[in-house]
Structure 1
Amino acid sequence: MSAPMQTQREQLRAIVAGKSIVRAQELRKAGIAGSTIQRALDDGDLVRIGRGLYQNPQSDFETEQTLAEVAKRIPKGVIAMLSALAYHGLTDQMPRKTWVAIGTSDWSTVSDYPPVRIVRFTDKYLHQGVEQQRISGVDVPIFSIPKTLADLFRNGRLVDRSVAVEGLRAALDQRKATPAQIADAARAGGAWRVMRPYLEALTFNG
């Protein structure tokens, strides 16, 4: 005998199992009807957290999951600046908005959840030092530690210099990046002239 076919509700449960968030587009592609999604919402098997974005109520919500949600909403974006710094554990500050870098001509999405802070990078800077991190079943592009530090020093008008210096100090103290890696990223990222005196002082004094 052949195995019984899954109901749409069972298919939906299978899709969201092991994930914290899922897009309506994913469910539609799997053949899940809107009425099935609505019943799952009514029964508490699914939680709507934004337009076309749902959360598995069985998953433990963590701050990092916000990054996964943003990655789904802005697939061409890269987690950047303060949000990348926080992800790498180099600041105690938790930004109220998720910082996302996009291209100079990329379309900027507007949504109230999760709140985002868009920064526009030229292609030269947008594609440097991108790491893919697996968060809540989602591949999230996040700038590396050296690249993030370079961006913070290069964009002094957006972030206070003290935040960049403390991030640099933390990266060195925690040995999450070497002075050479940081210097190379700063040169490639147009931040070496600004960062150099701080890096040299922290390295020589450390």
Structure 2
Amino acid sequence: MSQSKVQQVLDLARAAGVLRPRDLEAQGIHREYLRRLERQGLLIRSGRGIYTPLDADFTEHHSLVEATQRVSHSIVCLLSALRFHEITTQAPFEIWLAIHGKAHTPREKLIPLHIVYMSGNAFESGIETHQLEGMPVQIYNLPKTVADCFKYRNKIGLDIALEALRESWRDRRCTMDELWHYAKICRVSNVMRPYLESLT
């Protein structure tokens, strides 16, 4: 192996936190470098097609990075999005991801996932892209997440939806216009109406 390319791969891994074969190919480096560096103990294979540096300084959001890299076109939603936005005391065991209703169910075994199928505006609206550990991670914004909590209240519990609404309003993290906007998109206007009216 070329030592200059080895160093380039290790530098890329440290800068990004997570490295995939396609990241190397974009730099004109063969993916075989990943396997060889893993055998030498310089990289850790943390999942299928995902490598991390041995001395990686993982953040609290590392599981979100790994999950979204393994499930393409996924968006962090519901309990995991609430956790990211620091609105809930819940610490979900699973990573909650939204994927398009027509997408194939991911066959991920290494990370516990809770997949939610969405479509249309409910899937496409309210997406923010955050750079976590050098990787782009798509996460629903807070008012969209609150509306989703009411839409999926049978999955997560109405108490969590109400907590999310109260905390986001109390901390002035959402406006009434934003909450109504996403309530309409998620088709939960009638469900949320009495709770929204009680805030004003």
Same fold (TM over 0.5): yes
Structure 1 unaligned regions, length at least 5: none
Alignment of 1:12-161 (within 5 A): 12-29=9-26, 30-34=28-32, 36-161=33-158
How many residue pairs align between the two structures? Answer: 198
> 1: CA distance between counterparts of 2:9 and 2:38?
11
> 1: CA distance between counterparts of 2:54 and 2:172?
37
2:157 partner amino acid: D
Q: CA deviation at 1:33?
A: 4.7
User: Please, which moves more after superposition, 92-101 or 63-72?
Assistant: 63-72
> 2: CA distance between counterparts of 1:43 and 1:95?
35
2:188 partner amino acid: A
User: Please, which moves more after superposition, 192-201 or 58-67?
Assistant: 58-67
Q: CA deviation at 1:28?
A: 4.5
Q: Quick check: 2:68–2:137 contact (8 Å CA) kept in 1?
A: yes
1:80-128 Cα offsets, whole Å, 9 max, x none, are 1111111101101111111111111112211122221111012231001
> 2: CA distance between counterparts of 1:56 and 1:10?
12
Segments of 4+ moved more than 4 angstroms:
none
Q: Residues 101 and 24 of structure 1: is their aligned pair in 2 closer, same or farther, counting only changes over 3 Å?
A: same
> 2: CA distance between counterparts of 1:78 and 1:191?
20
Q: Quick check: 1:19–1:59 contact (8 Å CA) kept in 2?
A: no
Q: CA deviation at 1:57?
A: 2.8
TM-score normalized by the length of structure 2: 0.91
TM-score normalized by the length of structure 1: 0.88
> 2: CA distance between counterparts of 1:56 and 1:167?
36
Equivalent pairs: percent with the same residue?
A: 28
> 1: CA distance between counterparts of 2:11 and 2:64?
23
Structure 2 unaligned regions, length at least 5: none
